[in-house]
Chain A
Amino acid sequence: MIVVLLILHGLLAVALLGAITHQALSVLPTVTPARDRWSFLDRFRGVDGTAYAMPIVVLFALTTLGGALVYPPYRIDVRPALEDMQNSAANGVFEIKEHLGAIGLGLLPVYWLFWQRPLAPERAVARRNLTWLLAFFVWWNFIVGHVLNNIRGLLP
């Protein structure tokens, strides 16, 4: 059961990572492509950011909920093993992951509000920076989650 939950948590995280990355790049200032040729990056960021807001809220909440469900086995089995290995850095990056997950949950209401149509111009800077802040949380949590999940294979 825990393996199924862990895989589901990972799959939700992949979807969230894709969505928030699309949206975070979409809020960067637009540059008109030379000779009307669109690069991969132009297409990647050429999305309607508003369409991603609600899916990101739902995915962030569900992914964090999934993380909360797989947390007890981690606390019982993995963390003590890391402490026995005196790998405090691994525990440290996980602590940061749980804090970012929690702070991110708290940010979701204002993030959702600022992405409501019609987009308020006076909120553009805050909307962009909130999106980038959430994107940082998601990328950190994704990478740390995967590294810790594979840590026995990664460490010598």
Chain B
Amino acid sequence: MTGSRLTVFSIVFGILYVVSFYYDLALFRYYPEVGEFHFLRNDRLGVVILWYGWIATSALASACIAFAVPRTLADRVTPGLAWIIPTAVVIGMLIYERRWFV
């Protein structure tokens, strides 16, 4: 993966992670009480961990986007976007997670 594609990957990853988390788009689910991974929801297996699945979804989708985006477009991504967009993503996530503290 070239430098500009790595930049695209990192920028898109944060956005897709928050989207995966918000819309529950985990690639798979882990049920720690039975130690099993499942692609589909199965409430009979106890508590579920979605975090691994969210990371897998965003990593896979970001890699696909980073490879698919035309080179000319990837080269036009400015260094500033590499920190501005992730910072905005983090701020948005923090605002959403205020729900735990009210």
A107, B97: Cβ atoms closer than 8 Å: no
B side interface size, CB within 8 A:
39
A133, B86: Cβ atoms closer than 8 Å: yes
A125, B90: Cβ atoms closer than 8 Å: no
Main secondary structure of the interface of A (DSSP, over half): helix
Residue of A nearest to B3 (CB): A113
A109, B47: Cβ atoms closer than 8 Å: no
Count A/B pairs, Cβ under 8 Å.
107
Contacting B at CB under 8 A, from A95-143, are 95-96, 98-100, 102-103, 105-114, 120, 122-123, 125-127, 129-130, 133
Residues of A within 8 A of B (CB): 68, 71-73, 75-76, 79-80, 88-89, 91-93, 95-96, 98-100, 102-103, 105-114, 120, 122-123, 125-127, 129-130, 133
Ranked nearest first, the 8 interchain pairs of A and B with the lowest CB-CB distance are: A92-B100, A106-B13, A72-B32, A110-B10, A126-B79, A129-B83, A109-B6, A123-B79
